[in-house]
Amino acid sequence: MSKVLLGMSGGVDSSVAAALLLRAGHEVIGATLIMHDIHEKDAAAAKIVADAVGIDHITVDMREEFEKHVLSPFVSEYEKGRTPNPCVLCNGYIKFPALLRTADSLGCDCIATGHYAAIRQRDGHPIITAATDKAKDQSYFLYMLGEDILSRLLFPLSGMTKPEIRALAEELGLPSASSPDSQDICFIKDISCADFVRSRSNGEIKLGNFVDTEGKVLGKHKGITAYTIGQRKGLGIASTSPLYVSYIDADSGNVILCRENELYRTKVYADNCRYFAGKLPDTFEANVSLRYTKKPGRATVTALSENEVLIEFTEPQRAPAPGQAAVFFDGDDLLGGGTIK
C-alpha cells in the first residue's frame, strides 16, 4: 500500500483518519503544521495520538508563510471594510501545498487530512465532491486546490458521519475521542474577531457614522472592522424596525444601514476565480454558495476575464459580503469558486 503523510491537529477527525489509513494497510506519518503560536498545543495533542496509534509524528513550522498569506491579508481586508475567509486562503496557499512538499521530502506517495469531503473523477479530472455527512461537509473551503494536490490526496472520512467517527474513536480508545469540534477561525481564541483585528492593525481603525440609505446620520460606530454585511446584532442603534449592515465605506468610514428586504441581490461579481478543469467556461449553470452556512442558489456564471465572473441568481440572495467566497457546485461536485468583489 501507499506511504501517506497525514495532516494531524490532535482532534478526533484526524485521529480517526490515522486509524483508518492504518487499517487499510498504509504506512502513515503524522504531520502537524504550526501556523501560529496557538497551534503548539495542537502539535502536542497530535503527538499523543500518534504515539497511541503507533505512527511517527513530525511538526512543520509554517508561521512565516501563514503570516504572509493569511494573517496579514486577513487584517488588511477587514481594514478595507471586507469580510475575508482565512480557511480558503490557508487551504489554498499554506496547508495542502506544505503537506505535499513535506510528503515529497519524506518519500510519501500521498497526503491525507481529516476533512469532510471526497474526491472522484469528472471529465478526466480529479474533483472534490461532498462528504457523506452533509452537515459537516467542508468542500466549500477547498475550491483553490489544483490537480497536482487532488491527484495525490486522500480523505479517509469521506464516507462517515460525525457520530460514527466519535463512536469509532471511543471503540479504539483514542485520546481525542471526546475532544471538542474545532472552531471556525483557528488562530483566534478567547477574543472577538474585531478585537483581534484591532490588536493586529498597523494603523488606526477607521471610525465614522452609521448612516441610512438616504444619507441620514444615525450615530457613531466602533470602527469599520467590527462589522460585516448583513449584521444586525451589536449595532446599538434604536429604530422602529430592525436595521442591518448594507455597505461599509472604507474611504469615508461610514457604515450604511438598511432594512432586511434591501439586503438581497441577484447579481454578484467575483474575482481570483478557480475552475476544476483549469480555464473558466464562457458561461455555465451552477448552484452558488456565498457563505459556508448558506444554502446554494441557482445561478448563471459568466466569465468576464480569465479569473473574473458575473454570477446572476435565479432568486435574490441575502447579504453577499465582499471578501467572502462564492463557490460553484453541480450537485455534490465542487466546480470552483472565487472571491466576492
The pLDDT value recorded for residue 165 is 95
What's the DSSP call for residue 96?
H
Same domain assignment for residues 105 and 53 = yes
The pairs formed by 64-69 with CB atoms below 8 angstroms and a separation of 24 or more are: 65/93, 65/94, 65/98, 66/35, 66/36, 66/90, 66/94, 66/187, 69/93, 69/94
Q: Is 15 exposed, middle or buried (0-12, 13-18, 19+ CB in 10 A)?
A: buried
- C-alpha–C-alpha distance, residues 205 and 76, integer Å: 11
Range of the domain at 297: 264-340
Kindly indicate the confidence band of residue 183, based on its pLDDT and cuts at 50, 70 and 90.
Answer: low
The pLDDT value recorded for residue 239 is 87
DSSP assignment of 184-242: SSTT--SS-HHHHHHHH-SSPPPP-EEEETTS-EEEE-S-GGG--TT--TT-----SS-
What's the DSSP call for residue 141?
G
Boundary (domain end) residue, out of 229, 258, 287: 258
Which residue stretches of the chain are H helix?
Answer: 12-23, 40-53, 63-66, 72-79, 86-89, 96-105, 147-150, 162-172, 193-200
Q: Lowest-pLDDT range, 177-186, 233-242, 324-333?
A: 177-186
Total domains in the chain come to 3
- C-alpha–C-alpha distance, residues 143 and 134, integer Å: 17
- Catalytic residue selected from 87, 90, 108, 273: 90
CATH number of residue 67's parent domain: 3.40.50.620
- Catalytic residue selected from 87, 110, 186, 273: 186
Per-residue model confidence as pLDDT tens digits over 128-174: 999 999 999 999 999 999 999 999 999 999 999 999 999 999 999 99
Kindly indicate the confidence band of residue 64, based on its pLDDT and cuts at 50, 70 and 90.
Answer: very high
Q: 177 in a domain, yes or no? A: no
Beta bridge partners of 311: 268, 301
When pLDDT is averaged across residues 197-210 and rounded to a whole number, the result is 87
Q: Which helix (H) or strand (E) holds 269?
A: strand 264-275
Please say if 87 is a catalytic residue. Answer: no
* Residue 90 half-sphere exposure toward CB, CA atoms < 13 A: 21
For residues 183 and 282, the model is more confident at 282
Same domain assignment for residues 254 and 278 = no
114 CB-near residues (< 8 Å, 6+ apart): 7, 8, 9, 11, 13, 14, 15, 16, 17, 156, 157
Same domain assignment for residues 58 and 151 = yes
The pLDDT value recorded for residue 264 is 97
Q: Is the confidence at residue 340, as pLDDT, over 70?
A: yes
Same domain assignment for residues 210 and 309 = no
Please say if 186 is a catalytic residue. Answer: yes
